[in-house]
Structure 1
Amino acid sequence: MCGLAGVLLPQAAEGAEALQQVAQAMGDALHHRGPDDGGTWVDARAGIALAHRRLSILDLSPLGHQPMDSSDGRYAIAYNGEVYNFAALRAELEPLGHAFRGHSDTEVLLAAFLQWGVEDTLSRCNGMFVLALWDRQEQCLWLARDRVGKKPLYYGWAGDALVFGSELKALWQHPRFDNDIDRDALTLLLRLDYIPAPHSIHERCFKLMPGRVLRLDAASVAAGAGNHRPDQAQRPFWDARARMQEALANPFQGSIEQAEAQLDALLRDAVALRMVADVPVGVFLSGGTDSSLVAALMQAQSSSPVHSFSIGFSGSHHDEAPLASELAQHLGCDHTELYVSGADALAVVPTLPTMFDEPFADASQVPTALVARLARQGVTVALSGDGGDELFFGYTRYQRALRNWQMLGKVPAPLRRWMSGRAGSQGEASRTGGLAALLAEAGARGIGDVYRNRISRWRDPVAAVPGARLANSFYDLADPLHGAGTPADAMMLADFVSYLPDDLLCKVDRTSMAVSLEARAPLLDWRVAEFAWSLPMAFKREHETSKVLLKRVLGRYVPQGMVHRPKRGFGAPVSDWLKGDLRPWAEDLLQPARLEREGVLSAAAVQPLWRQFIGGQRKWHTHLWNVLMFQAWHAHWRDVRATVAG
């Protein structure tokens, strides 16, 4: 896995040396993503510079060095990721006259662009990636991101220059990057615990959305410097909603036994593709359905014990380490287990702003960082079970939302209107459940509104961010599927489009890349996703059992007693932390005088929640954690800004 960065000017650069120095600084900021090699590429007359940091996974030789030119010199690429089917693409390209010096997927990509063009090539790729591709012939820059959004790419403006990179810390290195906080985007953090694409924490700065490409040239850079919505120029080469609608319109027609066999074959291939590497490969193993299935499929296709890794929490009733150890022993994995204390976990917290660059408040970031650090001691690549919940109805919140939506359908319209009117007086109390929560959902236009209320932290985040307007996200759609499928399908789509890439995959990317570890997710192979969308709901949920088909496939490899286990999650005891060892840290960040001086968050909105939480009156720890993650990030951002400016 790697990191990339670059600059595109609206005119020719005054000199190559200055442009190269900026690109070098941007690339150096991503050293952790690629400690094995680095390089820059500059065309001063075109005003373009690319930087790359390499974590060598395939073709460890210098022939995999980036930025890389195409064989005819038309394209230059900086690329982060893996195209898992590169060998099949290469086999197609060689009879068409393309020759290869090494065996990296980067070289195959460049040949494919020459043969089929950019967007056609992307539609042929099965992988996780972002890329920056300069076309000398057309004098344009292509930015692209994989279908699911496994890898990140930010872009924005530093003065009149376009800057882009795998993480914000690269963009910050440009001396003219002075974009302040986007207060509207901050409301999304308070509501969702993360900032979904295309938004970012900065003004004039955006995330490339999953399955999208962006074509830029000098003219569009000049125009975009004054345009606050250049994200609208992103266009899809793969669209999750359209693909799900198509799958629902052409549903799977076979029996559940046939679906089980087909899913097993698909997953075996997806796992096998992701085991290809010239470095050691392992698996994150929690003991839950998804990671257990990935581990089982890896071991079934490996001639030697698969390296598996899990962490346990001393004294925690959520500890899944014994389950992981039992399953690893059954499969014959080479298992590594580490028990961590509260002090171990708390030591990670001060590093989070540097690790994430953007305020991020999913507290499972802490145990994820710990297991990534553990895995890196033994392997360079680790497979994960991400994606099973969003594709196979794995979250209990889906069931709660469906229950509430069905209940609301039985309430007469006049009474619902009255209830909806009463909801406005509830404020953040609607987060605590009971009547307040029911009132908040009474005015729901569709399942999307009910589900948004289920997943929201701050129900009225604008009240906490003076001068902000509530930014929209995919969760603001009353019916995410526009009439197709069931309410359950609609909720899973919303999570697949937003929660999965911008929370779960962001968390895994930052924590793994912080220790130079590549993480791969076979359940998120696009073929698996489209097959899952075609399945009837009965194959995913039966009575109180979720992920029915995944569990049937897992049952082919392990005893039934290891299949049907309660979901425990991968969380962190935030409430205990904030009332214990982290209390002085939190109180410092939440001082009313500090909040008023910084002028971003409202002390009047935040302080009552802190007092009620410390006093044991309300469980506001989730509200407070996203406020604290912003405050910690804000202090870090000011320090970085001062360093670059100095």
Structure 2
Amino acid sequence: MSCEAPSKRRALVCGILGVIDARLSEAELRKLATSMADALHHRGPDDAGIWIDDDTHLALGHRRLSIHDLSPLGAQPMYSASENLVIAFNGEIYNFNAIKQKLVAEGCGFRGSSDTEILINAIEYWGLEAALNLCIGMFAFAVYDRAKKTLTLARDRIGEKPLYYGFIENRFVFASELKGILRACDSGRPNIDMGSLKSYFRYGYISAPHTIYENIKKLEPGAFYIVDLTTPSNGLGDVANQHYWLLDSLFQDKPQPLLKDEKIAITKLDSILNNVISEQALSDVPLGAFLSGGIDSSAVASILQSQSEIPIDTFTIGFDDKSFNEAEHAKAIANHIGSSHHELYLTAQDALDVVPSLSQIYDEPFADSSQIPMLIVSRLARKKVTVCLSGDGGDELFCGYNRYTHAKNVIDKMKSAPDTLKKWGAYGLKNISPRTWDSLYLNINNILGKKGGANFGSKMHKLADLAASKDAQSAYDFLSSYWPNPELLFVKSANEPQLIAKHNFETEFLDAAMEWDQKWYLPGDNLVKTDRASMAASLELRVPLLDLRVIEFSWSIANELKLRHGLSKWILRQVLYKYVPSQLIDRPKMGFSIPIGQWLREDLRGWAEEFIAPDFLSSQGIFNADIIQKIWLQHLSGSYDHSNKLWTFFMFQDWYVTQHLATNNYSSNVNMS
């Protein structure tokens, strides 16, 4: 066997890829793998490496963003100590020092001190699952066993780092992003998976293991896949997958009774967060934090600053529209903790400048409109730092979303109401347009001398639909949906993947809601948004609140420590009050959102109308054009706010034209079976 030896030196990898194709020569494999690596350049602009095994026609590759050890000692793929294992790694193992000490005690030697070298030797000494169970961090990696001729793909527990894989044109391929895999599609892009498309329109994202394309999958969080290159199957090997970690295990193993003591719980969470943030702050390059002014990012930034002898860099995005703007609050918190604060106010033109790149950045349709400020704040941060900490995860772990409190209240009150009353009550609320509701609400508040919130009319319509829901699970699914009935949109039907929770929504509503969000919304939406946006700016983003120790803690405490008297994230607030006065924190939740509805009526209207023309919709053969046209006209009139529905539609259309059709010569290529 002739193998090109990979470097034995350390690196952090931010983009990985691989291909197995017995039909290709070594030179052809290298050319293909290099093309795939080029597609991931933004994830690792500092270096690239390809390793090839001639016997199995396997190529492994990576793109490197240098975070630790900035010398040439970082080249990958990397050998284990025995040189039997070869790894391509993306991410960070935060507890690598503790794992290293265990390995040293067993006689393992090291050439350097990178987490990549520690991980591969842990796998060699203890086996894959034992090593994975020890690791705390964010990661996706591929490791090849030269003796067994097996390739293993693995992903972190909650899904912070992505990994796609599939059988395409008689070859097995994998990559950190879909664009890497598509470089291996010689005859055009695969067929669109209509079931995945339907799920996308419902939720605004596509959950693992599904993707927008047939025959390409996302590796699920907490899973590993093994490809056996010795067992022929379609010219490749059999694929088996297992989970080394499941969120469900936390429900089954959580202590009884749950921790209810306030002082003990607050002290414990404060200690955990300090330890986690201290570990995640290790970096050989400049490091900062996102600071929106909300509870989660404020907690992370405040603790990070308390551990630093110099001002940390913090970053925020603001809006002229005060109903969306938290920049003033972020600035007040930054002033209090003493960080070096950077802010940028976002305009509709800024959004218009970013929109053309979104589909290319996200690879498949993705409709969380906060992707726009996330991309812009990542670019802002990258001018000063290479690594940033964010506050994502606090809502899902500590009952932060308004839908937890409001939905539970409505559901509890409507349980005893007759179905007929629910139906007619909902009809009455929706018979008044959102614009009329807004006007009534504004007039009442003016009379009372109070300030009203934004989008009151849309909230009344949502309340109507919520009240009419048949049960708690359907109510929560409605609240989590952009298009509650996506089947009405399409010309033909398809089977939609079902996203379920183990907890019972009727009897354990809060647990079921948090479980659902942690299983589906968090890895499918939030972490996709943050990973792609930050990596597009070549910025590494770390998420302390999603550390395994924080997740385990959140499931070990009683819900009354998370949600108390209508106050969300109660325990996280108590920790934050140790660093920031309550008057800077306690205010209604805003979220990281943008005035996309207004922008679609104004600055983005020209861009949007290219995708809604009747002739174009007819040529696509996917949508019921009448429904699309109706909600567009309603939105333009201002009588309704269909922001989320329309953004979901337009982001698909933009992806379809700029990504899908660009390769497939204006053929819809949709499998409607």
Identify whether the pair has TM-score above 0.5, normalized to the shorter chain.
yes
Alignment of 1:241 onto 2:248: yes
1:57 aligned residue (60, 63, 67): 67
Q: Distance in 2 between matches of 1:23 and 1:485?
A: 51
Alignment of 1:162-561 (within 5 A): 162-176=172-186, 178-218=189-229, 222=233, 233-247=240-254, 249-253=255-259, 255-411=261-417, 444-445=470-471, 447-474=472-499, 477=500, 480-481=502-503, 486-561=508-583
Partners of 2:614 and 2:294 in 1: CA distance: 42
Determine which of 82, 88, 112 is the counterpart of 2:92.
Answer: 82
User: Amino acid of the residue matched to residue 132 of structure 1?
Assistant: A
**Which stretch shows the higher mean deviation, 594-603 or 112-121?**
594-603
Mean CA deviation greater in 612-621 or 180-189: 612-621
Q: 1:192-243 deviations in whole A, cap 9, x for unaligned?
A: 111111110101111111111111123778359999xx7xx53211101221
- Equivalent in 20, 26, 34 of residue 8 of structure 1: 20
Amino acid at match of 1:244: F
Q: Which residue in the other structure is 1:621 paired with? A: 643
SS in 2 for 1:51: strand
The amino acid across from 1:374 in the alignment is L
Gaps of 5+ in 1: none
Pick closer, same or farther for the CA change 1:526–1:416 going to 2, 3 Å. Answer: farther
In the alignment, the residues of structure 1 paired with residue 233 and residue 64 of structure 2 have an alpha-carbon distance, to the nearest angstrom, of: 31
- Aligned partner of 1:117 in structure 2 is 127
- Residue identity over aligned pairs, in percent, reads 41
Select the residue among 169, 174, 177 that pairs with 1:159. Answer: 169
Q: 2 CA distance for matches of 1:576 and 1:220?
A: 57
SS of the residue 2:417 aligns to: coil
Q: 1:315 to 1:614 in 2, by over 3 A?
A: closer
Deviations 1:323-373 (A, max 9, x none): 111111111111112223221222111110111111111000011111101
- Which residue of structure 1 aligns with residue 632 of structure 2? 610
Aligned counterpart, 1:66? 76
Q: In 2, distance between residues paired with 1:256 and 1:417?
A: 39
8 Å CA contact retained: 1:349, 1:366: yes
What is the rounded CA distance, in whole Å, between the counterparts of 2:601 and 2:25 in structure 1?
A: 55
Structure 2 CA distance, aligned partners of 1:291 and 1:437?
29
Q: TM-score, normalised by structure 1?
A: 0.92
Contact in 2 for aligned 1:190/1:458 (Cα 8 Å): yes
Q: Distance in 2 between matches of 1:403 and 1:222?
A: 54
Map Cα deviations across residues 245-290 of structure 1 (whole Å, 9 max, x no partner).
322x534435101100000000001101100111111000011111
- Describe the shift of the 1:512–1:276 C-alpha distance in structure 2 as closer, same or farther (beyond 3 A): same
Counterpart pick for 2:657 among 635, 638, 646 = 635
Within the candidate set 615, 629, 633, 1:593 is matched to 615
Q: Is contact 1:13-1:46 (8 Å) kept?
A: no
Q: Is the 8 A contact 2:505 2:512 kept in 1?
A: no
- How far the C-alpha of 1:639 sits from its partner, in A, is 5.4
- Alpha-carbon contact 2:159-2:222 (below 8 Å) kept: yes
Decide whether the 8 Å contact of 1:284 with 1:384 is kept in 2.
Answer: yes
Q: Which residue of 2 aligns with 1:570?
A: 592
Superposition deviation, residue 13 in structure 1: 4.3
Give 1:8 shift: 2.4
Contact 1:480-1:491 at 8 Å conserved across structures: no
CA distance in 2, matches of 1:407, 1:254: 27
Distance, in Å, in 1 between the alignment partners of 2:579 and 2:422 is 52
Cα distance, 1:221–1:254 mapped onto 2, change above 3 Å: farther
Alignment partner, residue 137 of structure 1: 147
Q: Deviations over 1:90-139 (max 9, x none)?
A: 11111211111122111111110011111111111000000111111221
Q: Quick one: structure 1 residues 340 and 18, their matched pair in 2 at CA, closer, same or farther if it must change by over 3 Å? A: same
Write the deviation string for residues 549-572 of structure 1: whole angstroms up to 9, x where unpaired: 001000111222123232111111
Question: 2:228 touches 2:237 (CA, 8 Å); kept in 1?
Answer: no
Q: Separation in 2 of the partners of 1:551 and 1:224?
A: 56
Secondary structure of 1:481's match? coil
- Cα distance in structure 2, aligned partners of 1:416 and 1:241: 37
- Equivalent residue of 1:337, what SS? strand
Q: Is the 8 A contact 2:324 2:594 kept in 1?
A: no
Partner of 2:448: none
Match of 1:584 among 597, 606, 631: 606
What TM-score, normalized by structure 2, do the two folds share?
A: 0.88
Q: Deviations over 1:551-610 (max 9, x none)?
A: 100011122212323211111111111110111111111111111112233323312211
Partners of 1:435 and 1:574 lie apart in 2 by 19
The alignment partner of 1:617 has SS state of: coil
Tell me the matched-pair count: 629
Alignment gaps of 5+ in structure 2: 1-12, 435-456, 668-673
- Give, in whole Å, the separation in 1 of the partners of 2:234 and 2:662: 28
Contact 1:241 1:481 in 2 (8 A): no
Determine the C-alpha separation between the residues in 1 that align with 2:321 and 2:505: 47
- Cα distance between partner residues in 1 of 2:653 and 2:231: 35
After TM superposition, the structure 1 stretch with the greater mean CA deviation from structure 2, 128-137 or 13-22, is 13-22
CA–CA distance in structure 1, aligned partners of residues 97 and 177 of structure 2: 29
Matched residue of 2:60: which SS?
strand
> What CA RMSD, in Å, does the superposition of the two structures yield over aligned residues?
2.8
4+ residue runs over 4 A deviation = 223-227, 414-420, 431-443, 482-485
SS in 1 for 2:17: strand
Q: Contact 2:227/2:237 (CA < 8 Å) preserved in 1?
A: no
Contact 1:37–1:53 (CA<8 Å) still a contact in 2? yes
| Mapped partners of 1:532, 1:221: distance in 2 | 45
Q: Please give the alpha-carbon distance, in whole angstroms, between the structure 2 residues aligned to 1:502 and 1:188.
A: 11
Partner-residue secondary structure (3-state), 1:287:
coil
| Partner Cα separation in structure 2 for residue 481 and residue 632 of structure 1 | 37
User: Could you tell me whether the CA contact under 8 Å between 1:245 and 1:481 is conserved in 2?
Assistant: no
